[in-house]
Structures are given as structure tokens and as C-alpha cells.
Structure 1
Amino acid sequence: MKKVGLMLAGVLVLGACAEEPEAAPAPVEGVVDGMSIENARLVLAPVSGNPAAVYFDLSYDGERALSLYDAEVDGAGDTTIHQFGEFDFKVQMMEALPIGLTAGTKIEFKPGDYHLMAMEVSPDLEAGGTTEVTLKLSGGGTHVFDAEVRAAGDER
């Protein structure tokens, strides 16, 4: 009788283990699920010491709504997200407000629209190389990607 009770208990324990849901994979540091970056490039200024611009195509299909509020460029002293807008009846460049991202969002960071301005650019950033860009998102997440470094006269 004891053997039957032990066998039955073992079957119940094994059955309970089989029903446990699989643990979700741990998030990868520097990667936001559902976010992809393409065509990333940093274009150096024609005059040494002036800011460089970073352009890229961002797509987001994640489950959570996020806000992109800041960025960093490796090799730059400071980075801000800029956009063009109208102020005092003039179109001008200004610091962007946080950018909302929901499933299906596609944003082209391009000349005359959203872009990153990298100030105090290191002379170590040279055309033909790459640099790391980090996007900072609400909730403490970051998304890191490489951007090709281009000379001032290259295609933006």
C-alpha cells in the first residue's frame, strides 16, 4: 500500500512540473524587443569642432508603449534629439520633446526632420569607421546600435 501511495505522489509531482509555463527569455541589455534600426550613419561636420548629425530609420513593433527621450553617441561629449519646427513664424531646429513609440511606429531620422546632434565630437571619429549610438527610453530601457561614420560631403 505504501508503494502505491509513493508512486501516486511521484506521478502528481511530475504532472505538476509538466504544467509549469516556460520562463520568458531574459531581456538582452541594450536591445529593446520589437525595435530595429537600419541605415544608421553619423555625418561629420565640414568644419572641425562643429556638431555632427546622426540619421537612421527606426521601426518599433513592441507590445509596450515607450517614449524615446534621449541619446548618446560614443565619441561625442553631448547628444540631443532635434527636430525642425516653426517658432516665431520661422522654421528652425529645436530640441525634440519625447517621441512616443507604439506598435507599428516607423520614424525616419533624416535631414530637415528628427535627427541626433552630436556635440564635441572626438577627432578619433573618422569617415569609414563606426560609432556606437545608445537610445534611452522610458522605463530605463536602452537600445544600442552602430552607425557608420561619413565625411561631411558624403550622402546624408
Structure 2
Amino acid sequence: MRSVIPSRPAAGYFMLKNETGKDRKIVSAASPDCGMLMLHLSKHEGGEHMAMVDSVDVPAGGSVSFAPGGYHLMCVKPSNRVKPGNAVKMTLTFDDGGTLTADFKVRNANGE
């Protein structure tokens, strides 16, 4: 997670590998430390802007990257725990109903 200014939206970045033989699809994300957690994509069409997406494909035997300039988790209304040095729990939900929960270390705007 990168937190730029307290109380402003923070962004979540990660790499997710799918080591199965089945395509997977992330359909939602949640965190007790975000008032709302959305799947977002930065687009560079006539200027940079972000758009919410309904799902993100994770191909069988492949991976997907959530990184600056591309897919990311948008943490709206972050709690006071979303500050550098802390970790926050994030849960991804897949189209088959499965979930994956992980701790995301919170970093500053420079990723430190």
C-alpha cells in the first residue's frame, strides 16, 4: 500500500501468480481499514485517468501485476492504520467464491 496523505485514498500494489491450470478472475477486494476498496485501472488515453473495473483476469499458469500506471487497489476513506510502518489486511475475492487474504505493508509515496 502507498499512502500519500493521511485521510486521502491510498493505492495497493502486488503481483499475483496463478499456479493452477484454471483461469481465475478477481471480482472484488475488501479491507477493514478501507471504507471502500475498489479494483482500479490507470488509463493513458488523452491524458491519465483512473477507472473502476469489475474484474481482473489472472490466466492459468500466469500472473497479473498491480503496479503504478496500471491495475491497483484504491483504498477510499482509509482508517488511521493506513500509514507508513503499519500493515493492513486485504482480501481478494475470485469469481469461484474463493478468497485470498494478505497483509499489505503501508509505505510512503516513494514506496519506502
Interval of TM-score (by shorter of Structure 1 and Structure 2): 0.7 to 0.9
Give the structure 1 partner of residue 77 of structure 2: 120
Give the structure 1 partner of residue 103 of structure 2: 146
- The reply to whether residue 155 of structure 1 matches residue 111 of structure 2 is yes
- The reply to whether residue 80 of structure 1 matches residue 35 of structure 2 is no
Query: Which structure shows the higher strand fraction?
Result: 2
Give the structure 2 partner of residue 109 of structure 1: 66
- The reply to whether residue 96 of structure 1 matches residue 53 of structure 2 is yes
Which runs of 5 or more residues in structure 2 are unaligned?
none
Mapped partners of 2:54, 2:10: distance in 1: 20
Secondary structure of 2:96's aligned partner: helix
**Structure 1 length-normalised TM:** 0.65
Kindly indicate whether the alpha-carbon contact (under 8 Å) linking 2:38 and 2:74 is maintained by their aligned counterparts in 1: yes
Task: Pick which of 140-149 and 89-98 moved more.
Answer: 89-98
Report deviation, 1:124.
2.6
Which runs of 5 or more residues in structure 1 are unaligned?
1-41
Mapped partners of 2:20, 2:52: distance in 1: 26
Query: Which structure shows the higher helix fraction?
Result: 1
Mapped partners of 1:51, 1:58: distance in 2: 22
Query: Residue 135 of structure 1: which of 87, 92, 100 is its match?
Result: 92
Higher relative contact order (CA 8 A, sep 6+): 2
4+ aligned runs moved over 3 Å, structure 1: none
RMSD: 1.7
Identity across aligned pairs (percent)?
27
Mapped partners of 1:108, 1:64: distance in 2: 18
For these two proteins, the number of residue pairs brought into alignment is 112
